C-alpha cells in the first residue's frame, strides 16, 4: 500500500488524502478517508468510521481545511503536482482561469442552527 499524500488530525479524527493513478499512470485522482481513533476497554487503539453528532463539526473543519489547502495548490502557478482532481489526464492538470478563483470563506456559525 502506498503512503498517504496528506493527513490532518483534530480531536481524534483524521482525514487522509490518497493519490490514485490508472494502470499506465496517465490519469491521477485523489480519494479521501475519514477515520476516528479511540482506546478500547483494553487500552488498545481502535479505528472506526462511525461518528457522533459532536464529531460532525470536527469533520466539517477538517474537510474545509483539506479543500482549502488543495485549492491553494491548484491555484498556485508553481504547484508541483500531477493531480488533476477530476480524473483528467495529468498533463491537463492546469485548470481554467475561473477555477483558480479564491475560495469563498465559510459562513459564520449560526448559534440558532438546529444542526
Q: What pLDDT score does 83 carry?
A: 45
Sorted by sequence, the CB contacts under 8 Å of residue 40 that are 6+ apart come out as 46
Q: What pLDDT score does 95 carry?
A: 38
Q: What pLDDT score does 88 carry?
A: 43
Q: What ranges do the domains of the chain cover?
A: 6-100
- Residue with the bigger pLDDT between 18 and 108: it is 18
**pLDDT tens track for 27-59:** 999 999 999 999 999 999 999 999 999 999 999
Decide: 78 and 93 in contact? Cβ < 8 Å. no
Q: What pLDDT score does 76 carry?
A: 79
**Distance between CA 100 and CA 97 in Å, rounded?**
6
Q: What are the backbone angles phi and psi of residue 114, rounded to the nearest 5°?
A: -75, -5
**Distance between CA 89 and CA 112 in Å, rounded?**
45
**pLDDT tens track for 67-100:** 999 888 888 766 554 444 444 444 434 433 434 4
Q: For residue 37, give the C-alpha cell.
A: 481513533
- Residue with the bigger pLDDT between 17 and 110: it is 17
Mean residue pLDDT across the chain: 78
Decide the pairing of beta strands 13-21 and 28-39: antiparallel
**Distance between CA 81 and CA 70 in Å, rounded?**
11
Amino acid at each position: 500500500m502506498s503512503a498517504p499524500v496528506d493527513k490532518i488530525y483534530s480531536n481524534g479524527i483524521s482525514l487522509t488524502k490518497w493519490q490514485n493513478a490508472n494502470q499506465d499512470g496517465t490519469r491521477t485522482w485523489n480519494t479521501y478517508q475519514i477515520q476516528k481513533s479511540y482506546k478500547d476497554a483494553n487500552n488498545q487503539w481502535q479505528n472506526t468510521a462511525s461518528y457522533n453528532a459532536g464529531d460532525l463539526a470536527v469533520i466539517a473543519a477538517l474537510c474545509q481545511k483539506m479543500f482549502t489547502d488543495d485549492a491553494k495548490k491548484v491555484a498556485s502557478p508553481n504547484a508541483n503536482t500531477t493531480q488533476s482532481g477530476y480524473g483528467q489526464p495529468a498533463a491537463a492538470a492546469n485548470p481554467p482561469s475561473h477555477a483558480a478563483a479564491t475560495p469563498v470563506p465559510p459562513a459564520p456559525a449560526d448559534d440558532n442552527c438546529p444542526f
